[in-house]
Amino acid sequence: MDKVNRIKELTQRLNQYRNSYYNNSVSEISDQEYDILFDELKMLEEETNIVMTNSPTHTVGYEIKSKLEKVKHSHPMLSLDKTKSTDDLNKFARDKNCLLMCKMDGLSILLTYENGELIKAETRGDGETGEDVTHNAKVFENIPLQIDYMGHFETEGEAIITYDDFEKINSKLPENEKYKNPRNLVSGSVRQLDNNIAAQRHIKFIVWKIPFKINGLSNSFRDRLEFAKTLGFEIVPYIFCSKNPFKIEILDDIEWLKKYASDNKFPIDGLVMTYNDIAYGETLGTTGHHPKHSLAFKFYDDIYPTKLVDIEFTMGKTGVLTPTAVFEPVEIDGTIVERASLHNLSVMRELGVEFIGQEINVYKANQIIPQVYNAKPIMPFKDPDDKEEIESIVIPDKCPICGANTEIPRESDVEVLVCANPNCKGKLLGKLSHFVSKNAINIDGLSEQTLHKFIDLGWLNSFRDIYYLSEYKEEM
């Protein structure tokens, strides 16, 4: 490992010296000192058979593809089941040794080597088929072009861009071309046809899995990761969780990994727990969606972009007209979502929701309740070349339930939309729902849906009418 680390150190230093000399006209060291370091690097590469993609001894030419070719994976690259509960992690681990790893937030990549040479890099795609991005992988900052392993070798990992590099790259882009997060930037960079662009994005590859057995190694997940490190790969930050003290230490382990990722500016969107005994994990099998040998622990919500198509105002039990965002369908955690409450006018404005046709970001709070995260600012005028209709959201001045005027009072510094009609049927539903609830009269059989139906039929217009529903027995 000392030689591998020295290779990485020399590669980084020499590239820094080259950048200072060619781009800033500054010579940080003499030519003689540079040549000595260069020769040492070359000697170590020949001795270890390990060469990094950005090694100054191997210049990779820039390459332009006409399109990205589809490629079928050698094995399924499935998604993982998710949880937000540490109790679920404890139940998953039971009495087994596990690894708890950072879940890198980038683009999943599969690398293939034959007799020590990198021959293919492919994106995860749909899990069965991805895209060939070998030309771009060859200009990543830390992938070994050459490894000291004869025969067939595959490794799965994540292409990432650190937060520091993301900020630097984004700061140089025009406002309308800036990326929202490192994941979007790395995804767009890895899928470029011209790898000259990818070469400027400081993309790193972090190994998190060796999918096939390695000669001479046991079925230990940890041993496979550590073996990848000896080949020159950067491996995912992890903690080995022994089965005995696991329940006590899990919270500390989670915080340590989160801090490690933060200190190193790694973009992560959670953690992954997997069984160290690979053979045991494989005996558990898979579902159509995920393997059972691993579990993702999510402490952030995934954000999904979509387009706002309408705002509907509906009346809740309190009589407030609540704005609901209706948007183009988007799949989140296996279900199709197309509506989310905006709660009140103040929240709607804070989220930046202003126009129909506006791009919004949505997520599932606690992986259950659809919510709007924010809205992308847009200009309120329509581009004559844009065929998409953009129109300002209109706050209704008439109640959609009874047609009476609406008002916007402030309740605890929050703006809400209400119907001015005290006898509005929308308000009646809320009043009756409370009246028949367990905390009040406690009448069984009168659910909110039933009350709503009876109000529509004209059978309920006041509390008194509840006691005369027997008059409608035949109609019921």
Q: What local confidence, expressed as pLDDT, does residue 447 receive?
A: 86
Q: Are strands 82-83 and 294-297 parallel, antiparallel or unpaired?
A: parallel
Q: What local confidence, expressed as pLDDT, does residue 23 receive?
A: 61
Q: Is the pTM of this model over 0.95?
A: no
Q: What local confidence, expressed as pLDDT, does residue 263 receive?
A: 94
Amino acid of residue 441 = I
Distance CA 192, CA 132 (A): 11
Q: Which of 306, 126, 155, 345 is nearest to 232 (CA)?
A: 155
The domain defined by 49-297 carries CATH number 3.30.470.30: yes
Q: What local confidence, expressed as pLDDT, does residue 29 receive?
A: 84
Distance CA 85, CA 90 (A): 9
Q: Which of 169, 164, 168 is nearest to 189 (CA)?
A: 169
Q: Which of 355, 391, 393, 348 is nearest to 371 (CA)?
A: 348
Mean pLDDT by 10 residues, the chain (476 residues): 86 82 71 83 88 77 74 89 87 91 95 95 90 93 92 95 92 78 89 89 95 87 95 96 66 91 93 95 85 88 88 81 93 85 90 92 80 79 52 91 88 83 81 86 87 86 90 91
22-28-30-32 Cα dihedral, nearest 10 degrees: -80
Q: Please pick, among 70, 82, 96, 103, the residue that the annotation labels catalytic.
A: 103
Query: Looking at residue 458, what DSSP letter applies?
Result: T
Q: What local confidence, expressed as pLDDT, does residue 386 receive?
A: 52
Domain boundaries, the chain: 49-297, 304-415, 424-472
Q: Which fold has domain 304-415?
A: OB fold (Dihydrolipoamide Acetyltransferase, E2P) (2.40.50)
Q: What local confidence, expressed as pLDDT, does residue 49 receive?
A: 87
The single residue listed with the structure tokens 């995920």 is: 290
3-state secondary structure of 268: strand
* Sequence-distant (≥ 6) Cβ neighbours of residue 149 within 8 angstroms: 113, 116, 231
Residue 103 among the catalytic residues: yes
Which residues in 37-151 belong to E strands, given as ranges? 51-52, 70-72, 82-83, 98-104, 107-114, 117-123, 129-131, 144-146
Distance CA 426, CA 48 (A): 76
CA angle 38, 41, 43 (to 5 degrees): 110
Contact by Cβ (8 Å): 459, 465: yes
